[in-house]
Structure 1
Amino acid sequence: MPRVLVTGAGGPAGVVVIRSLLKRPELTVFAADMDGWAAGLYLVPAEQRRLVPPGRAEEFVPTLARLVEDDAIDVVVSTVDVELIALSERRDELAPAVLAAPSADTLDVSLDKLLLAERCADTGRAPRTVLAGPAAQAVDWEFPVFAKPRQGAGSRGIRLVPDRAALDALPVDEGLIVQDFLPGEEYSVDVVADAAGQVVAAVPRTRARVDSGVAIAGRTVHDPELEETASAIAKAIGLVGVANVQLRRGRDGRAMLLEVNPRFPGALPLTIAAGVDIPSLVVDLFLGRELPASVPFREVAFVRFLEDVIVEIDEVLVSDHAGHQEEL
């Protein structure tokens, strides 16, 4: 019976991955987080709950390796960017378990917006992207343009640059990039690629309502352009496994690359309900099982709400790293 450890059990992605895998009785699912208040911990039996250090901590990878050995884990599923970064170059330390994540190269490219644009240039769907400073000042832009951190997720640090004077005033010591402005509608496309890098599913969805960077309402859409664009980007970065490709329509209406999140997205319940159970597919992939050539999906909408998980007081895990307001 395969044993799977899911980390980041307190986040939206961690919760949905755990719930997906619990539907498969042949899997034994363990849940881990740095915070004893993480809701996903309490979706699994008490003997399968684990506390780990923060992903940036020096002891994170060795601790995970010990858990893998002690619990005879076969597959590790990390749902947190910072943990993936820590694990990507040291996945051999988890052996014999496998890390269900893209390659270190795919992760590095995806998390660096300049490298990502360069890698995807041949798709014709990457916006013009250059470093702030002399390189950006030398381009004949159509204003406004966007400036954003070269690395980092979400909307943090993004600024609209209205004219040439504002472009020239951008700081050059903050790792900023400058990109063409994409004024159209934004889409998220959840993508799964098999061991050969062939995309078996690309599910576009709208982000009708967003809270703290996570979609809380939206719908899946059948749109060949969005599916083909996301698939081309996945192939360009050498994706094996899961990624969330964010697209936005440019001034000419064409779908263009915004960014790639090389992990499980928080809005996976919509994609799963549409017919593509990404966590289950990814676990099968990293267990060495062959995936279908393609997985169809249907158009469906969702809205999200908070759901309570009630536990006994003595079940709550006390952690050193976050969350607790009182001694239990």
Structure 2
Amino acid sequence: MRQNKPEIKKQIRLLLTSSRGYINLGRIESLRNNSQYDFYIVGVDIFGDKYKLPILDEQIQIPADNERKYIGMIKKITTEKMIDVILPASDAEVEIISKNKKLLKKMGVGTVCSSYLVTHSAVNKANMLLFLKEKKVDVPKFFIPESIKELILAAKKLGYPKKPIIIKPAFASGNRGVWLIKENFSKELLHSRGIPRISIDEFVKQVGKLKHFPKIVLMEYLSGDEYSVDGLGEKGNPIYVIPRVRVSPLPGYSQEALIHENKEVKEYVEQICRAFGFDSIFNVQLKYGEDGKPKVYEINPRISATAVANTAAGVDLLLFSILKELKITYPKNIQPKKIRMIRFWKEFYTDN
């Protein structure tokens, strides 16, 4: 009996930025495990010790201190390695890549991100909150102080010291630079694994040592359930919006999460997608406030750290976002199934 020849997969040559990031193993494995496409993956990162994850095809060091040199190197690599599409995996890089989206498109290279205007507005926490407030989208109470005097006044307006508040940089990835401002810590300070805590007096004291007042956002503390919601938009039309409850969040990452239907959260994030006009993969992080409503506190206009969990739920959002950019048809009506994700670390070794 004649056996059928195995189907040859179509190759997609992909450039992955920040490829030495802790959570890239899941992304790479997800792309490797799909049944339709053969991914040749070139990783780029600022680390220069020549180590690469074994499941990467290549690893190349790139400059980090100069935007012009960075994009020049990206153009050189995409040409030499015949790259089809770029997957930016950090906030700083998605801004640079989106700024050069049209240029890269002329070179025949796709970019998995929205336009620069959309990306720049979403990635900056201050700009994001101001934009959505103007669009009549419900956001947390917030202030953007420009001096210590304004900072103290804003804290009082947010209910401090009776209520804790959040202070964060206007631009920073994940939970970097985020502080919980609280007057009384008790024993919780010694056992907390969450964001660092500090009193307003101590924060003001440290800020006063700086030459210039930093660009920060003061925001009400959201104490309810926390969601990380992945989405895929086409010119502002939400194709997929998949809510994921952060069961055991570490600062900046989900250690354990549960994908399940939440109509209220889904409709809220669809509203955000339309407001910004997202035209690629994106991620919205939100928590429920004391009024019982979901409120966004951060947006990642790029692939999120835990986006591959959607693949296990039946919706390969990472693959679909790549296919969309390459103008390849992809499914648009899959219903994600309920699934729980638990993250474990894995070690790699080298004699370099």
TM-score by length of 2: 0.78
Q: Does 2:123 align with 1:111? A: yes
Q: Does 2:247 align with 1:208? A: yes
Q: CA deviation at 1:254?
A: 0.7
Partner of 1:156: 176
Partner of 1:77: 87
Range with bigger deviation, 267-276 or 6-15 = 6-15
Equivalent runs, 1:1-328 vs 2, <5 Å: 1-22=11-32, 23-34=34-45, 35=47, 36-39=50-53, 42-44=54-56, 48-58=57-67, 59-94=69-104, 95-121=107-133, 122-132=135-145, 133=147, 137=153, 140-143=157-160, 144=163, 145-162=165-182, 166=200, 170=204, 171=207, 173-194=213-234, 196-211=235-250, 213-308=252-347, 328=352
One-letter amino acid of the counterpart of residue 78, structure 1 = P
- Separation (CA, whole Å) in 2 of partners of 1:309 and 1:141: 46
TM-score by length of 1: 0.83
Distance 1:67 1:129, change over 3 A: same
Q: CA deviation at 1:70?
A: 1.4
Distance 1:216 1:152, change over 3 A: same
Give a deviation string over 1:182-231, Cα, whole Å, max 9, x none.
1212111011112x221111111122223452212121121101111112
Distance 1:166 1:285, change over 3 A: same
Could you say what secondary structure the match of 2:37 adopts? coil
- Separation (CA, whole Å) in 2 of partners of 1:28 and 1:181: 42
Q: Which runs of 5+ in 2 are unaligned?
A: 1-10, 184-198
Distance 1:226 1:87, change over 3 A: same
Q: CA deviation at 1:309?
A: 5.6
Could you say what secondary structure the match of 1:19 adopts? helix
Could you say what secondary structure the match of 1:178 adopts? strand
Q: CA deviation at 1:117?
A: 0.8
Distance 1:263 1:85, change over 3 A: same
Partner of 1:323: none
Q: Which runs of 5+ in 1 are unaligned?
A: 314-325
Q: Kindly, what percent of the aligned residue pairs are identical?
A: 21
- Separation (CA, whole Å) in 2 of partners of 1:13 and 1:238: 27
- Tell me, yes or no, if the aligned pair for 1:219 and 1:299 is still in contact at 8 Å: yes
One-letter amino acid of the counterpart of residue 325, structure 2 = F
Q: CA deviation at 1:259?
A: 0.6
Distance 1:43 1:212, change over 3 A: farther
Flag the structure with larger Rg.
2
Could you say what secondary structure the match of 1:101 adopts? coil
Q: CA deviation at 1:154?
A: 2.6
Distance 1:2 1:265, change over 3 A: same
Give a deviation string over 1:276-328, Cα, whole Å, max 9, x none.
21111111110113444433111111212233567xx7xxxxxxxxxxxx7x4
- Separation (CA, whole Å) in 2 of partners of 1:224 and 1:275: 18
The alignment's C-alpha RMSD in Å is 2.7
Distance 1:210 1:251, change over 3 A: closer
